[in-house]
């Protein structure tokens, strides 16, 4: 199982994000990764001011499906999804989402019995059923997952290009869920191939491009999934490059950095930049040392939570040749300096003005950093040992590396 232990750069900040795409990708990502592995960077989503948000409280009970025309039933469901409410707990929200999805499937089934495939509301109704069944599956309803797959299969040859594409995407999501839930990646190559084929059929399809990015990212976060992630980025990158959508092409250009990072184990890592005091960093100062490169930010809760662990290891092994290099993705130098001073962080911190929107530190861009903290451990020979040296893993790695140091 994965856990929310990092802050992630939104993969779709480069794309226009219509409501339907947002809903599909939220559902898709939740299904690809059994429990969300990463939390989003707070600045990524525009939130209503606190004063404009309703107070947290008990959510209303979802009413039963009323009688009505197909149009009235669709309006009823739309109203349930548009209500601006704040649940008092995650559990309450899950129950509400389940109830909404259940009544949505009921509405779709009633409507589909009354209309034909050439009806103008058929596509919207079919998508409502697909997505609602997918949501129920995400919430643990295996029968709904199976029903979704069967229904989606009936739509893959639909005369509606949009409906057929959505059905194929959700089938890919369903297949991905099975692979990641199994704990093995045996089906990964076939899934990557199918996704690449769908991308190639329409390189300008934002929803499919987004799903491909989520899939590659999910492989990257899976234990032992680095090779599958490399295969995914390598397969999708050339297709993204052919897109006439400039934002999709730009997203594809970032793959080079990701592949560079995933290829680091067993090879040297280039570390360059400017220290917080304005002086250039000299990588030669690290020769012969065990080095932890920590991509982090003061606004990232998991990053801050990891600092005591790194401090403990630093105090234990610094005199024996252990060094830490922090790469801050903060944009506020003053806030960073204050934090470093208050926390008495002793290791060098690299800080640069962001190269663009969000947290594009030159080094994080160069290595395709998508989530922080990203902690990379380098051995005395200058070659990277691991891309995942957090928590207990860091201590065990250092204990092994310094066991003969006295």
Residues 207 and 300 in one domain: no
Distance CA 183, CA 116 (A): 41
Position 226 scores a pLDDT of: 87
Domain-embedded: residue 234: yes
Of 123, 133, 78, 74, the C-alpha closest to 102 is 133
According to DSSP, the β-strands at 384-386 and 374-378 are antiparallel
Position 359 scores a pLDDT of: 60
Residues 223 and 311 in one domain: no
Intervals of the chain under pLDDT 70: 1-58, 82-85, 354-360, 405-406
Distances, alpha carbon 377 to alpha carbons 38, 168, 171, 209, 396, in Å: 21, 40, 38, 32, 12
Domain-embedded: residue 270: no
Residues 371 and 320 in one domain: yes
Count of domains observed in the chain: 2
State the CATH number of the domain containing residue 366: 3.40.30.10
CA atoms within 13 A on the CB side of 200: 9
Q: Which domain holds residue 395?
A: 283-401
Residues 30 and 130 in one domain: yes
Number of Cβ atoms within 10 Å of the Cβ of 272 = 12
Domain-embedded: residue 275: no
How many helices (H) does the chain have, and how many strands (E)?
15, 8
Number of Cβ atoms within 10 Å of the Cβ of 335 = 13
Residue partners of 26: CB distance under 8 A and separation at least 6: none
Across-strand partners of 40? 8
For 167-206, how does the pLDDT look when each residue is reduced to its tens digit (9 = 90+)? 999 999 989 988 888 888 899 999 999 999 999 999 999 9
Interhelix angle 246-253/255-262, nearest 10 degrees: 20
Domain-embedded: residue 272: no
Residues 226 and 304 in one domain: no
For 229-281, how does the pLDDT look when each residue is reduced to its tens digit (9 = 90+)? 999 999 999 999 999 999 899 888 888 899 999 999 999 999 999 999 999 99
Of 31, 318, 46, the C-alpha closest to 176 is 31
Residues 80 and 152 in one domain: yes
Domain-embedded: residue 269: no
Position 70 scores a pLDDT of: 96
Position 355 scores a pLDDT of: 54
Residues 105 and 200 in one domain: yes
Residues 203 and 307 in one domain: no
Position 221 scores a pLDDT of: 82
Position 360 scores a pLDDT of: 66
For 91-100, how does the pLDDT look when each residue is reduced to its tens digit (9 = 90+)? 888 898 999 9
Distance CA 264, CA 375 (A): 12
Of 369, 374, 367, the C-alpha closest to 390 is 374
Q: Which of 193, 225, 260 is the last residue of a domain?
A: 260
Residue with tokens 């997505």: 131
Residues 192 and 53 in one domain: yes
SS (H, E, C) 234-264: HHHHHHHHCCCCHHHHHHHHCHHHHHHHHCC
Distance CA 386, CA 401 (A): 13
Residues 342 and 206 in one domain: no
Number of Cβ atoms within 10 Å of the Cβ of 97 = 19
Domain-embedded: residue 183: yes
Position 91 scores a pLDDT of: 87
> Two tokens at 5?
């232990």
Residues 121 and 252 in one domain: yes
Residues 341 and 217 in one domain: no
- In this structure, are residues 297 and 340 in contact, taking their beta carbons and an 8 Å threshold? no
Position 223 scores a pLDDT of: 80
What radius of gyration, in Å, describes the C-alpha atoms of the chain?
24
Domain-embedded: residue 276: no
> Two tokens at 354?
């962001």
> Two tokens at 199?
């991308």
């Amino acid at each position: 199982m994965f856990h929310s232990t990092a802050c992630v750069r939104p993969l779709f900040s480069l794309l226009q994000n219509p409501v339907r795409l947002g809903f599909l990708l939220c559902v898709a990502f939740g299904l690809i990764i059994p429990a969300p592995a990463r939390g989003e960077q707070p600045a990524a989503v525009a939130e209503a001011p606190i004063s404009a948000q309703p107070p947290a409280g008990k959510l209303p009970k979802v009413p039963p499906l009323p009688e009505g025309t197909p149009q009235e039933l669709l309006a009823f469901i739309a109203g349930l999804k548009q209500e601006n409410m704040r649940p008092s707990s995650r559990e309450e929200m899950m129950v509400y989402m389940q109830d909404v999805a259940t009544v949505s499937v009921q509405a779709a089934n009633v409507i589909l019995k009354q209309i034909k495939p050439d009806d103008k509301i058929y596509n919207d109704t079919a998508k409502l059923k697909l997505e609602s069944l997918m949501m129920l599956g995400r919430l643990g309803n295996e029968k709904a997952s199976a029903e979704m797959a069967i229904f989606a299969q009936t739509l893959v040859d639909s005369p509606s290009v949009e409906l057929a594409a959505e059905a194929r995407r959700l089938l890919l999501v369903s297949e991905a869920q099975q692979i990641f839930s199994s704990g093995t990646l045996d089906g990964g190559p076939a899934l990557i191939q199918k996704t690449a084929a769908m991308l190639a059929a329409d390189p300008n399809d934002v929803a499919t491009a987004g799903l491909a990015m989520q899939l590659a990212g999910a492989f990257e976060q899976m234990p032992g999934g680095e090779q599958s992630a490399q295969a995914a980025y390598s397969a999708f990158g050339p297709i993204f490059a052919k897109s006439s959508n400039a934002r999709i092409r730009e997203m594809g250009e970032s793959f080079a950095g990701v592949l560079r990072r995933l290829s680091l184990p067993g090879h040297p890592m280039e570390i360059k930049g400017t220290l917080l005091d304005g002086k250039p960093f000299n990588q030669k100062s690290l020769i012969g040392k065990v080095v932890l490169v920590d991509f982090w930010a003061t606004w990232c809760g998991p990053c801050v939570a990891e600092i005591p662990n790194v401090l403990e290891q630093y105090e234990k092994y610094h005199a024996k040749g252990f060094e830490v290099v922090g790469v801050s993705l903060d944009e506020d130098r003053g806030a960073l300096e204050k934090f470093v001073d208050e926390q008495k962080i002793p290791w060098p911190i690299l800080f640069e003005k962001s190269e663009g929107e969000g947290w594009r530190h030159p080094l994080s861009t160069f290595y395709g950093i998508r989530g922080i903290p990203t902690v990379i451990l380098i051995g005395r020979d200058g070659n990277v040992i691991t891309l995942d040296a957090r928590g207990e893993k860091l201590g065990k790695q250092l204990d092994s590396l310094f066991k003969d140091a006295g």
